[in-house]
Chains A and B, each alone.
Chain A
Amino acid sequence: MSDYKEKVMIRKVLLIISLLVCLAWPALAVDGTKLLREIDRNLSPESYESYRKLINIEPDGKKKEFTLFTVKKGTDKVASLFLAPASEKGRSTLRLGDNMWLHIPNVGKPIRITSLQSVVGGVFNNADILQLDYAVEYDVLDVKEEGDEYLLRLKAKSKSVAYDQLKIRADKAKRLPTKIECLTEANMLIKTLYFKDVKDFGGGLVRPAVIETDSPLYKGYKSVMITAKIKKRAFKDEVFTLTFMPNLESLR
């Protein structure tokens, strides 16, 4: 009889513990979506202007460099203007959600381009250059904690997103990415982004100044994106239109 009572008691205790664990679980687990939004905001303000240099490095060390002025507003509007080299100067790109255009001053009217193409060649494609917030394009599948880092697994919200899956390694303390792997639906690695040289850009923005990328599809090649200046700035929606593209220089 006493054995029976003991068993019942153990069951009750286990049940209570299980209920407590279930109730406490949401508080203990990391909220992936919230974490991803934090990472986005730590990388850049929602609306900003920035100056960047893109360097494509060939296996023999030969380099090709591009300087860009970029403006972004809200979740889906980005525009970039090429400042150098002379052959590209005046070209501009615009992204409105999934739509992307390239304006070449001589050719005239903006032409539609795709996210997987690259207006600069090298490993960075148009989606990397005209990047939106990760939380806008991806859902968080799960978050793991590995030492000082979080490992986030992301899945694209739609087929129009450049990479079907992302694996983000983020520094726990700084809530900044250290490495992002971009994968296809079939789990094939397309490229890896390495975030380096965390720097204070002012206005409370402390983020990596250098993003390096390599790809198994371009063995031996490397592309680097250096952010020189980035600051919060508000823009009118009209700036992010085809008609405004030839006038982006006036925002500098």
Chain B
Amino acid sequence: MSLTHEPRGQWPRLWLAAPRAELLAAGGHLRALGKIRHLALPQMGLALLPLVDGAFHESFNLGEIPLASSQLSIHTADGREARGASCVMQDDISMVETLALADAVLAAGWPEGEALAVLLAQGRAALDEVARQRKALLAATTVDFALLGETEDDDDAA
């Protein structure tokens, strides 16, 4: 049973936009669900961002970005198992592990994921509000170039 209609690839972005304290509290509850095992080496630090230039199609490193990644599984005492992963542009290993855990639980459709779905909705609302504010700012700075033509005519006449 899916608890959210948001695409899985957007979950980390939405959770990071949700209230941080609530997300960390939810992570604490998830950690108590069962035994957690890393499936890959959790990483935290700076990562090179390779790109290909448009002229000669040669690869180059644009710069370094903070990056953290985690891949894990959780096994509950009643025999349930879920796997999840996360990779975010933050050097916060605790946060990325929380996101990976949340990813596992919500993707598996466990009842404990309902609180995570609520956080997704809160994150979506926060991002929508930011988008609305940016749109309003953009609208306020719109220039009507049609008026520019009328001004030129006036100058010519003078």
Q: Do A and B actually bind?
A: no
Chain A residues proximal to chain B, CB less than 8 Å:
none
